[in-house]
Amino acid sequence: MRATDVAALHDSVLTWYAAHRRDLPWRAPHRTPWGVLVSEVMLQQTPVVRVLPVWERWMDAWPTPADLAAEPSGTAVREWGRLGYPRRALRLHAAATAIRDLHGGEVPSDEETLRTLPGIGDYTAAAVAAFAFGRRATVVDTNVRRVHARALTGTALPAPSLTRAEVALATSLLPQDDAEAATWSVAVMELGALVCTARAPRCGECPVAGRCAWLRAGSPAHDGPARRGQAWAGTDRQCRGTLLQVLREVDGPVPGETLRAAWPGRGAARDASHELQRDRCLDALVAEGLVEPLAGDRYRLPGT
């Protein structure tokens, strides 16, 4: 893109963002780097509306990494509630412990160090560096990828997995100034979340519609390989979720009998293969540290 086109793109999106941005608590002026980090982990594959109440509770209970690290890991898993992917809670607890023990209790500000923390990958490291510390970092999430795919590449959806070319494109669009770069990143993400949505984009409200390559091409349908749906009914994921839900909702240790009765439910679905699946999933949860086995065939969330 020509420099003048990039500048016009910046102006359009930043002006739109200033007028339409949501006042999310992790964007408030008094936010802390820890609050930003917690929000970014919770937001991984999880909608904002579901994160909001859990984030508020977590920040009230554990305003610093050391506060969370002082708890048993199972407490983090319990307070994670139904956000999904509960291993994130475990990793967040481990990250808090590492921050306390290895980084003087302060969230690191550079991407490289952030990436060493459990549960912090390329996206989250860049997001924390940018949004918590105002660093110039290339933030590429699913929203950014979709906006770039449409507005610049002209396709309905990005490729299944992130490519080097996409990262290079995002970097090429990043303003030189640190603070402006961070605002640009969150603005593009917000545009993707509110206007340039996956299923029914609101092109009539889009500040970039006039220069959108996808619109100009006639909004062609996605022509790549169909996206693989994630199976659910009867899968290990459902089984693990069911077992963990029992442990979350009960205070203290649960008899193995109670746990086993939760899967696969009642009636004809109960057979030997389901029991094998159930036992395999429980073993895996224990191996991953999400469940702690106790003497006398009892189980609990670790340390609780």
Partner DNA sequence: TAGCCGTGGCA
Partner DNA sequence: TTGCCAAGGCT
Per CB under 7 A, residues contacting DNA are 24, 26-27, 39-40, 43-48, 50, 82-87, 91, 118-125, 127, 141-143, 146, 157, 160-161, 186, 189-190, 192-193, 197-200, 226-230, 232, 235-238, 240-242, 244-245
Chain centroid, CA 66 distance in Å = 22
Residue number with CB closer to DNA (8 or 85):
85
Rounded to a whole number of angstroms, the minimum distance from the CB of residue 32 to DNA is 15
Residue number with CB closer to DNA (19 or 295):
19
Residue number with CB closer to DNA (132 or 209):
132
Chain centroid, CA 300 distance in Å = 26
Chain centroid, CA 253 distance in Å = 30
End-to-end CA distance of the chain: 56
Residue 137 identity: A
75, two tokens: 């407490």
Instruction: Tell me if residue 300 falls in helix, strand or coil.
Output: strand
Rounded to a whole number of angstroms, the minimum distance from the CB of residue 108 to DNA is 14
40 in catalytic set: yes
Rounded to a whole number of angstroms, the minimum distance from the CB of residue 276 to DNA is 14
Question: Within 10 Å of residue 125's Cβ, how many Cβ atoms?
Answer: 23
Residue corresponding to tokens 């429980």: 282
Residue number with CB closer to DNA (79 or 141):
141
Rounded to a whole number of angstroms, the minimum distance from the CB of residue 36 to DNA is 8
For 224-241, give one letter per residue: b (16+ CB within 10 A) or e: eeeeeeeeeeeeeebbbb
- The span from the CA of 160 to the CA of 228, in Å, is 9
Catalytic residues: 40
